[in-house]
A and B are shown apart, each in its own frame.
Chain A
Amino acid sequence: DSGVTQTPKHLITATGQRVTLRCSPRSGDLSVYWYQQSLDQGLQFLIQYYNGEERAKGNILERFSAQQFPDLHSELNLSSLELGDSALYFCASSRDTLSEQPQHFGDGTRLSIL
């Protein structure tokens, strides 16, 4: 058990819809990272938050947004969903933003767009 909790585990929705994925980091970890894993792209870094502030942005589409709340949980919002957004979305956490890399990954949310 990594200590990182992601909900829901599975999500099935239709094109054009909007969904919110939730992540609770490991206790004491201040950094949260979001990754997208699809069959043809591997693990792609989307965005990182540290203690409520955005710290780094990767290949995140404009239709996607995220935030980290004062209690350090994070949400990833995906809107105007397209078929190609079907993927596993992972959240990871670490204690420090600069000296550590994503140490602990959640088990992911599997998003299926019909």
Chain B
Amino acid sequence: GQQLNQSPQSMFIQEGEDVSMNCTSSSIFNTWLWYKQDPGEGPVLLIALYKAGELTSNGRLTAQFGITRKDSFLNISASIPSDVGIYFCAGVPSNDYKLSFGAGTTVTVRA
């Protein structure tokens, strides 16, 4: 599959903080998706993006489809304890129809 570089690999959050993560690729993508996975469960689709420049919100989550079509970011505003988990970006490249996943960003609450 296509190589997606997701960063950061992990982050610690404090309740109330805004956090941001991103995903980049050397190829052009037609679709970007963001999923969250809690321990012992499957990934849950958070936001889907289908057009370059598109900015979409889902509650405190906001994601954007980069205008170069090679990147996407996800912001979480005013984080709360239940935001902990692993966030995955995923994308469909323009020359394929199969979904590739990033390695994930693990979000943990700072003690």
> Which of A12-20, A38-46, A69-77, A78-86 forms part of the interface with chain B?
A38-46
Inter-subunit contact A105/B99 (CB<8 Å): no
State whether the Cβ of B8 lies closer than 8 Å to any Cβ in chain A. Answer: no
Distance A105 CA – B42 CA, assembled complex (angstroms): 5
A25 at the interface (CB under 8 A from B): no
**CB <8 Å contact, B1 and A58:** yes
Which one of B17-25, B43-51, B52-60, B77-85 is at the interface? Answer: B43-51
* Bound: A58/B99 CA distance, A: 9
What 1/0 flags go to A42-63 for Cβ under 8 Å of B? 1111001000000010110000
Contact of A44 among B1, B44, B88, B97 (CB under 8 A): B1
> How many of chain B's residues touch chain A, expressed as a range?
20 to 34
Verify B98–A45 contact, CB threshold 8 A.
Answer: yes
Q: Is the CB of B101 within 8 A of A42?
A: yes
Would B42 and A101 count as touching, CB distance under 8 A? no
Q: Are A105 and B1 in touch, CB under 8 angstroms?
A: no
Note all chain A residues with C-beta closer than 8 A to B45: 101-104
Q: Mark B24-43, 1 if CB is under 8 A from A, else 0.
A: 00000001010100001111
Q: Given A59-B1, A105-B42, output 17 extra A-B contacts at Cβ < 8 Å.
A: A42-B101, A43-B43, A44-B1, A44-B101, A45-B1, A45-B98, A45-B99, A48-B98, A56-B98, A58-B98, A98-B97, A101-B48, A101-B99, A105-B44, A106-B42, A107-B40, A108-B41
Q: Which residues of B contact A (CB under 8 A)?
A: 1, 31, 33, 35, 40-45, 48, 88, 90, 92, 97-104
Q: Which 4 interchain pairs have the tightest Cβ spacing?
A: A105-B42, A43-B101, A42-B103, A105-B43
